[in-house]
Amino acid sequence: MERSRLLECLAADVARLREVAASDLTAAVPSCPGWTVADLVRHVAEVYLHKVECMRLNTFPDPWPPADLESEPPIEQLNRAYAELTGEFAARDAASPSRTWHEPDQTVGFWIRRMAQETVIHRLDAELALGVPVATIPEDLAVDGIDEVLKLFVDYGSHAWVEDFEPVLAGAEGRTVIVGVDGGPGWLVRTETTGAVVSDADPAAAASMPVGATVSGSAAGVLRWLWARESPGVSDVQVEGDDATLAELRKLLVASTQ
Q: Is 128 left (phi over 0), alpha (psi -120 to 50) or beta?
A: alpha
Residue pair 29/130 in contact (Cβ under 8 Å)? The answer is no
pTM of the model: 0.96
pLDDT score, position 205:
63
pLDDT at residue 206 above 70?
no
Residue pair 238/178 in contact (Cβ under 8 Å)? The answer is no
**Mean pLDDT of all residues in 139-146:** 98
Residue 122: closest CA among 251, 229, 231: 229
216's enclosing H/E stretch is strand 213-217
**Mean pLDDT of all residues in 120-127:** 98
Cα 85 to Cα 95: distance, rounded to the nearest angstrom: 16
